[in-house]
């Protein structure tokens, strides 16, 4: 696919697809609850469809209709042994959260995924689940998937997580549903709290205090209605495009702005971005708003510490913004980026360098000396959806043509991304 500077500003309204993290959880928690869970604005991306297919393989009936997903839950102990490997595809959330549930079942299961999943670290869930008494093994012995999980009764633990990861926290809390005593997780900084909010909505006894979440075992979970807000991680590309293309004004409707996810808004404002929040409301404990974004002159900033988990998936697009901003942007404490769907630190540095940006990789982040005009280049997405979308936006700000290879991977989180971007640039 090719991208170049649009001939006119970006104008109009856009609704982004449902939040990926919340869509996954709605299906998972619905499956282990009693009764019916109805999910509207579910993200029909490949990752969330992997979650659906894993639970269907364990006997859960899930109807995927044009207006909603209907999950016919069977309770905490209602899953059936899968006849075959569970396939998480490209999805780290599916792999890590489902492992917590599988650890508490009375059957053995095997879990795998694509080449990216098979190289991502699973030691971070094997360690706490093993402490809880689970038998979970990396089949190739490299602490990656495929995983073999022999479920049985678990012990409640307190786990001090070395990483601020919602996937690790959620995995341990879900296993805690099947434990013999309360389970708590403390993380270095608070990561996204959708699990805590949504499990409470399904009837779990779960409390949060600062960076610790605690769950009581064996609750009776009941099906619930979930209305999924628009995904701020998907909105981020349109926020960036509107900020970068002169004259633009874009209204992004009904976006989730949970404070554990809204770091992109804080950083953009800090860089001088004109973003207004309109029609703020709360659905199922998740705050949402419409975002009105106008083209702005941006300047560099520093991004580090507790801010990092609130914008972890947005760092690639923030790097594009920083490349186009005046002055220097420093990103620290972002080493987690090396173990996402791809090594996002390395790839952002390599590909932005190819576009003429003055950027250097550091041990835990990057330093971007912004303001040098970007020029088009040939960019390979490495099959990472967020790399693809970030460079599609970079292409709108660069001189000449940016050619994006393996662009189709956006189907992971935003199947009609390019069509929506084209509509705003028409």
Q: Which residues bind ligand S3P (CB under 6 A)?
A: 21, 92-93, 165-167, 170, 191-192, 312-313, 336
Q: Taking a C-beta distance cutoff of 8 angstroms, is the pair 176, 182 a contact? A: yes
Contacts for 422 with CB less than 8 Å, ≥ 6 apart: none
Euclidean distance between CA atoms 37 and 22, whole angstroms: 13
* Residue 1 or 163 having the CB closest to ligand S3P: 163
List Cα–Cα distances, 15 to 46, 231, 252, 303, in angstroms. Answer: 19, 9, 6, 28
Indicate the helix (H) or strand (E) that contains 422: helix 417-425
Tell how strand 286-294 and strand 327-331 pair up: unpaired
* Residue 37 or 191 having the CB closest to ligand S3P: 191
Q: At its nearest, how many Å lie between ligand S3P and the CB of residue 356?
A: 29
Q: At its nearest, how many Å lie between ligand S3P and the CB of residue 95?
A: 10
313 assigned to active site:
yes
**336: Cα within 13 Å, side-chain hemisphere:** 22
Q: At its nearest, how many Å lie between ligand S3P and the CB of residue 247?
A: 32
Measured from each CB, the residue nearest to ligand S3P is 21
* Residue 192 or 201 having the CB closest to ligand S3P: 192
Tell me which of 19, 47, 290, 313 is the catalytic residue: 313
* Residue 170 or 214 having the CB closest to ligand S3P: 170
* Residue 21 or 37 having the CB closest to ligand S3P: 21
As beta bridge partners, residue 109 has: 149
Q: At its nearest, how many Å lie between ligand S3P and the CB of residue 308?
A: 9
Q: Give the Cβ contact number of residue 328 at 10 Å.
A: 16
Euclidean distance between CA atoms 184 and 215, whole angstroms: 6
Q: At its nearest, how many Å lie between ligand S3P and the CB of residue 313?
A: 5
Residues with a known catalytic role: 313
């Amino acid at each position: 696919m090719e991208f170049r500077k649009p001939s006119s500003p970006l104008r109009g309204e856009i609704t982004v697809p449902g939040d990926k993290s919340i869509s996954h959880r709605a299906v998972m928690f619905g499956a282990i609850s009693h009764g019916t869970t109805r999910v509207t604005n579910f993200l029909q991306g490949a990752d969330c469809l992997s979650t659906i297919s894993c639970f269907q393989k364990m006997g859960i009936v899930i109807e995927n209709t044009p207006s909603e997903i209907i999950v016919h839950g069977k309770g905490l102990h209602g899953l059936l042994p899968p006849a075959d490997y569970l396939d998480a595809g490209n999805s780290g959330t599916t792999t890590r959260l489902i492992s917590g549930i599988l650890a508490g079942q009375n059957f053995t299961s095997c879990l795998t995924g694509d080449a990216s999943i098979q190289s991502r670290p699973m030691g971070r869930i094997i360690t706490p689940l093993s402490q809880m008494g689970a038998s979970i093994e990396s089949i190739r012995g490299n602490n990656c998937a495929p995983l073999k999980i022999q479920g049985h009764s678990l012990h409640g633990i307190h786990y001090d997580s070395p990483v601020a990861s919602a996937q690790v926290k959620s995995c341990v809390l879900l296993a805690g549903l099947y434990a013999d005593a309360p389970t708590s997780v403390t993380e270095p900084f608070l990561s996204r709290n959708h699990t805590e909010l949504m499990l409470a909505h399904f009837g779990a006894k779960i409390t949060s205090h600062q960076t610790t979440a605690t769950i009581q075992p064996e609750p009776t979970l009941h099906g619930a209605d979930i209305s999924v807000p628009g995904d701020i991680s998907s909105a981020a590309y349109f926020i960036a495009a509107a900020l970068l293309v002169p004259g633009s004004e874009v209204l992004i409707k009904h976006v989730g702005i949970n404070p554990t996810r809204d770091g992109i808004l804080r950083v953009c404002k800090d860089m001088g971005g004109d973003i207004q929040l309109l029609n703020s409301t709360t659905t199922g404990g998740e705050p949402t708003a419409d975002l009105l974004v106008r083209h702005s002159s941006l300047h560099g900033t520093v991004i580090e510490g507790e801010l990092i988990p609130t914008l972890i998936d947005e760092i690639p697009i923030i790097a594009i913004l920083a490349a186009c901003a005046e002055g220097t942007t420093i990103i620290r404490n972002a080493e987690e980026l090396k173990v996402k769907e791809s090594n996002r630190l390395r790839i952002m540095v390599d590909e932005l360098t190819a576009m003429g940006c003055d950027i250097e990789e550091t041990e835990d982040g990057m330093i971007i000396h912004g303001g040098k005009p970007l020029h088009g280049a040939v960019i390979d997405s490495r099959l990472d959806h967020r790399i693809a979308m970030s460079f599609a936006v970079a292409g709108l700000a660069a001189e000449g043509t940016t050619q994006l290879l393996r662009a189709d991977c956006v189907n992971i989180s935003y199947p009609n991304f390019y069509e929506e971007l084209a509509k705003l640039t028409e």
